[in-house]
Amino acid sequence: MDSTAIDVRQLAKMIDHSLLRPELTTAEVLRGCELAATYDVASVCVRPADVALAVKALDGTAVAVGTVIGFPHGGSTTAVKAGEVVDALAAGATELDMVLNIGLLRSGEDDAVREDIAAVVDASGGVGLTKVIFENAYLDDEEKLRACRLSTLAGADFVKTSTGFAPGGATLEDVRLMRANVPAHMRVKAAGGVRTLDRMLEFVAAGAERFGATATATILDDLAARRAAA
């Protein structure tokens, strides 16, 4: 996509408005859903316990509700991750951001990592988009490449850079690497540290098609102002 020609609606539909901080109150989650509806973003990404609340708040809008699986460390058992998917879908979620098992990936246990991802994909039954979070701050390039391959083999829809809770977040280099090493039908999501319009547009140019963001209003208002002044 040409990042210089993107309009406000197109960029909004690339944003998953993130409501994942552990201290968020119910009122804050509801305000986040209201903001997401106002800007008509792609989705909100909420904590699992908030899915039903967000689904109700966003009823009648075009904003999807997503949640996280095995978050933020990826170390839950595969059965627990699959169970989280079942609960999330029952509550109305349609997008699932799962953390792969980072320790197993770094240990070279590729079959176990692929099976873990595939169990989440299978549990979704094709109802929810599955995004696999690598948590790249902990991985070297060889491990990132293996994560791309394993996510592809497991049938995931997206690969994602980060949770936003590790020492580092998305980098342009990682997005380029991920885009180059998954098939065209898979998409790349950048998360962690993408807080300005200029930064987001750099990531669009690098190949990201979805973003986890908390600075949604600031980014979209900036783009609207620039387009109005052009």
Q: Stretch 136-145: mean pLDDT, rounded?
A: 98
What is the Cα–Cα distance from 59 to 24, expressed in whole angstroms? 21
Residue 2: the pLDDT is: 65
pLDDT single digits (tens) 87-106: 999 999 999 999 999 999 99
Asked if 205 contacts 8 with a C-beta cutoff of 8 angstroms, the reply is no
Confidence class for position 126, pLDDT limits 50, 70, 90: confident
Q: Helix, strand, or coil here: 33?
A: helix
What is the mean predicted confidence (pLDDT) over 131-149? 98
Does 41 have pLDDT greater than 90?
yes
HSE (side-chain half, CA atoms, 13 Å) at 150: 27
Average pLDDT over residues 208-217: 98
How many CA atoms does the CB half-sphere of 175 hold within 13 Å? 24
Question: What percent of the chain is predicted at pLDDT more than 70?
Answer: 99
Q: What is the pLDDT of residue 24?
A: 98
- Quote the mean pLDDT of the chain: 97
- Mind listing the domains of the chain with CATH numbers? 8-229 (3.20.20.70)
- Residues 75-85: what's their mean pLDDT? 98
pLDDT at 3 > cutoff 70: no
Residues 117/132, Cβ–Cβ less than 8 Å: yes
Taking only the tens place, the pLDDT of each residue in 109-125 is 999 999 999 999 999 99
173-193 per-position pLDDT tens digit: 999 999 999 999 999 999 999
Q: Is the pLDDT of residue 206 over 70?
A: yes
Catalytic residues: 97, 160, 189
Give the C-alpha separation, 208 to 132, whole Å: 14
Q: What pLDDT is recorded for position 179? A: 98
Per the DSSP assignment, residues forming a β-bridge with 16 are: 43, 212
